[in-house]
């Protein structure tokens, strides 16, 4: 059965298929850690067998090669799961997170499908520029949205060809870039999937690419680059000061915006600094100023809003690796003599070099605070139409689709307010929003990652499936802290704009100790 001869090429106008291969994977033991199977808990499954199918195609008049991978399980549950990417990857089994999610999906009986959108390399330097000064717009558009519709059509067709019937339900599963992909599908291809989980989504990717450089240009303007330990100490002081505001001492601040914390109270405080064996150092006023700038977000030359900042309590420096990239917007690098310089976020560095300057050799550290506004506007003008998601999901609603998203309040890459702002903009013209779209804010959670703290909603994907197939909307979802953070604690996440409130007395809280209200 698992033979290319048994599987017909899908019929897709404008596409020419160039290869199709298939091999049987038998009796595989699959072990996937929590949150690496996106929007799920950990998976352990034995004796999993599936047909590993790969097909490639090109577009008429183009020289591209798009690769789609489909895992077809021996014990099929009648459903298909599309799997998204992260960073500059559209997906594909070469991307670690997509690979884990594909394995988790097939272990649960889904036919699983993912695409590389025409660029096999995980490095944007290998595909964004056709030549110096010239961006490959075709590949960007494939990455931005086109490949996602193709994935849906091809994945369904191959699934039907293999099993003799189409999937009864199809789902999208992604976080970060995969989250943006999910919302873009809902906006542009509303019938592609019945249900979409699109977490920590980069719905304003064209803004993120420039505005996340803000802390670095602020340090450049100050002429001071504080040590990473100063930023860590400020974040830890905020959490310690605000932790009990929700009635529960658990190292997690449930509502960061409601806590009145003065970081200037820490200036000149002595801390033990592990940065290049610095010993004891004092927290500088510059560190506080940069911290506040990171919390506030990028501003125009007149001081008005340009981009959201991180929530207080999120890591300001590269303390946790998420999705294989550095995460700290204010990260510095210090030499043995104590001299420090800035370190640009990988995603920002590539965006400004390749997409804005169109010059792979451009030195992003030369960008000044005065440059940001113009670069930001250029980014929106050139790439907003390709990547950003318009806050209108009317056709998705009319098609009967359902979409769920979470955003960690300690996300160190994507400001949580990008998600709440998007939700508010959709809700502004659609009073039915709660009937098909629910957003959950996750206190203490980093970017797409359970990591060492925060409340992770491992059952989010299952909540979507239940909503689509039984009509039962999730009024709350269970969330738990990671075992890496000591004793596991439970809470609930509430559909925005509601928040979870603690009504218990035990420090070992369970989900029953929380309720949702505005």
Out of 335, 362, 384, a domain closes at: 384
Same domain, 271 and 329: yes
Q: 370-400 pLDDT, tens per residue?
A: 999 999 999 999 999 999 999 999 999 999 9
Whether 81 is covered by a domain: the verdict is yes
With 90 as the cut, is the pLDDT of residue 338 above it? no
Identified catalytic residue from 98, 152, 176, 379: 176
Whether 420 is covered by a domain: the verdict is yes
Q: 109-138 pLDDT, tens per residue?
A: 999 999 999 998 989 999 999 999 999 999
Which has the minimum average pLDDT: 93-102, 222-231, 237-246, 319-328? Answer: 319-328
With 90 as the cut, is the pLDDT of residue 220 above it? yes
Task: Identify whether the C-beta of residue 174 lies closer than 8 Å to the C-beta of residue 403.
Answer: no
Q: How many Cβ atoms from other residues are within 10 Å of residue 133's Cβ? A: 9
Q: What pLDDT shows up at residue 484?
A: 63
CA separation for the pair 68, 124 (Å, rounded): 19
Same domain, 261 and 358: yes
Length of the chain: 518
Whether 44 is covered by a domain: the verdict is yes
Whether 515 is covered by a domain: the verdict is no
Same domain, 274 and 229: yes
Same domain, 11 and 97: yes
Q: What pLDDT shows up at residue 250?
A: 85
pLDDT band at 324 (very low <50, low <70, confident <90, very high): very low
CA separation for the pair 465, 467 (Å, rounded): 5
Q: What pLDDT shows up at residue 1?
A: 81
Catalytic, 176? Answer yes
Task: Identify whether the C-beta of residue 351 lies closer than 8 Å to the C-beta of residue 212.
Answer: no
Tokens, residue 32:
């996937």
Same domain, 197 and 98: yes
Average pLDDT, the chain: 94
CA separation for the pair 352, 132 (Å, rounded): 14
Whether 496 is covered by a domain: the verdict is no
With 60 as the cut, is the pLDDT of residue 417 above it? yes
Nearest to 294 by CA among 381, 247, 226: 226
Whether 276 is covered by a domain: the verdict is yes
The CATH number of the domain holding residue 104 is: 3.40.50.1820
pLDDT band at 179 (very low <50, low <70, confident <90, very high): very high
Average pLDDT of 235-250?
A: 93
Same domain, 100 and 224: no
- With b meaning 16 or more CB within 10 Å and e meaning fewer, what string describes 248-257? bebbbbbbbe
Q: How many Cβ atoms from other residues are within 10 Å of residue 7's Cβ? A: 21
N-terminal to C-terminal alpha carbon distance within the chain: 54
With 60 as the cut, is the pLDDT of residue 311 above it? yes
Same domain, 216 and 331: yes
Same domain, 418 and 317: no
Count of domains for the chain: 2
Identified catalytic residue from 40, 213, 407, 447: 447
Out of 333, 367, 384, a domain closes at: 384
Same domain, 377 and 397: no
Domain ranges, residue 93: 4-203+386-474
Q: 423-435 pLDDT, tens per residue?
A: 999 999 999 999 9
Whether 489 is covered by a domain: the verdict is no
Average pLDDT of 13-25?
A: 95
Whether 112 is covered by a domain: the verdict is yes
Same domain, 378 and 278: yes
Q: 45-97 pLDDT, tens per residue?
A: 999 999 999 999 999 999 999 999 999 999 999 999 999 999 999 999 988 88
Average pLDDT of 179-185?
A: 98
Comparing 466 with 4, the larger pLDDT belongs to: 466
Catalytic, 374? Answer no
Same domain, 8 and 137: yes
Identified catalytic residue from 204, 243, 349, 411: 411
Q: What pLDDT shows up at residue 323?
A: 45
Q: What pLDDT shows up at residue 504?
A: 81
CA separation for the pair 372, 369 (Å, rounded): 6
**Strand arrangement of the beta sheet that strand 437-442 belongs to:** 15-32, 43-59, 66-73, 111-115, 79-83, 169-175, 195-199, 402-408, 437-442
Out of 351, 384, 417, a domain closes at: 384
Same domain, 172 and 295: no
Bridge partner list, 195: 171, 402
Catalytic, 199? Answer no
Q: What pLDDT shows up at residue 507?
A: 64
């Amino acid at each position: 059965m698992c033979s290319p001869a048994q599987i017909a090429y899908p019929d897709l106008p404008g596409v020419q298929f160039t290869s199709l291969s298939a091999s049987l994977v038998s009796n595989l033991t699959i072990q996937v850690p929590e949150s690496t199977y996106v929007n799920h808990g950990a998976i352990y499954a034995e004796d999993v067998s599936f047909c590993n199918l790969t097909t490639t195609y090109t577009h008429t008049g183009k020289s591209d090669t798009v690769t789609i991978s489909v895992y077809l399980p021996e014990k099929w549950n009648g459903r298909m799961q599309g799997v998204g990417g992260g960073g500059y990857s559209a997906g594909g089994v070469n991307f670690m997170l997509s690979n884990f999610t594909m394995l988790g999906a097939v272990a649960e009986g889904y036919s699983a499908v993912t695409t590389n959108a025409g660029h096999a390399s995980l490095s944007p330097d290998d595909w964004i520029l056709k030549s110096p000064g010239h961006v490959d717009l075709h590949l960007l558009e494939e990455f931005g949205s086109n490949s996602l519709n193709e994935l849906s059509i091809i994945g369904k067709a191959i699934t039907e060809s293999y099993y003799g019937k189409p999937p009864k339900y199809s789902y999208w599963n992604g976080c970060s870039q995969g989250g943006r992909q999910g919302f873009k599908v809902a906006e542009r291809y509303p019938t592609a999937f019945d249900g979409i989980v699109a977490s920590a989504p980069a719905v304003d990717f064209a803004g993120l690419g420039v505005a996340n450089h803000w802390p670095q240009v602020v340090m450049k303007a100050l002429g001071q680059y504080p040590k990473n330990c100063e930023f860590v100490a400020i974040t830890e002081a905020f959490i310690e000061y605000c932790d009990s505001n929700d009635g529960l001492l658990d190292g997690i601040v449930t509502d960061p915006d409601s806590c009145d914390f003065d970081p200037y109270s820490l200036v000149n405080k002595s801390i033990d600094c592990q940065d290049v064996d610095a010993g004891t150092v004092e927290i500088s006023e510059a560190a506080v100023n940069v911290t506040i700038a990171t919390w506030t977000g990028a501003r125009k030359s007149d001081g008005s809003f340009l981009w959201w900042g991180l929530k207080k309590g999120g890591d300001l420096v590269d303390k946790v690796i998420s999705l294989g990239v550095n995460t700290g917007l204010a990260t510095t690098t210090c030499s043995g003599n104590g001299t420090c310089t800035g370190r640009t976020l990988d995603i920002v560095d590539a965006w400004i070099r390749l997409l804005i300057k169109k010059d792979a050799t451009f030195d992003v550290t030369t960008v000044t605070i005065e440059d940001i506004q113009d670069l930001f506007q250029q980014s929106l003008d050139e790439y907003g139409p390709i990547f950003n998601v318009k806050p209108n999901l009317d056709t998705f609603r009319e098609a009967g689709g359902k979409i769920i998203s979470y955003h960690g309040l300690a996300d160190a890459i994507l400001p949580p307010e990008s998600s709440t702002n998007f939700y508010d903009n959709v809700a502004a013209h659609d009073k039915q929003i709660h009937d098909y779209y629910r957003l959950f804010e996750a206190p203490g959670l980093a970017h797409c990652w359970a990591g060492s703290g925060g409340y992770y909603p491992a059952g989010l994907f299952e909540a979507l499936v239940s909503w689509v197939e039984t009509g039962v909307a999730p009024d709350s979802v269970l969330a738990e802290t990671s075992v890496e953070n000591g004793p596991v604690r439970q809470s609930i996440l509430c559909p925005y704009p509601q928040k979870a409130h603690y009504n218990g007395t035990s420090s070992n809280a369970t989900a029953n100790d929380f309720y949702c209200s505005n």
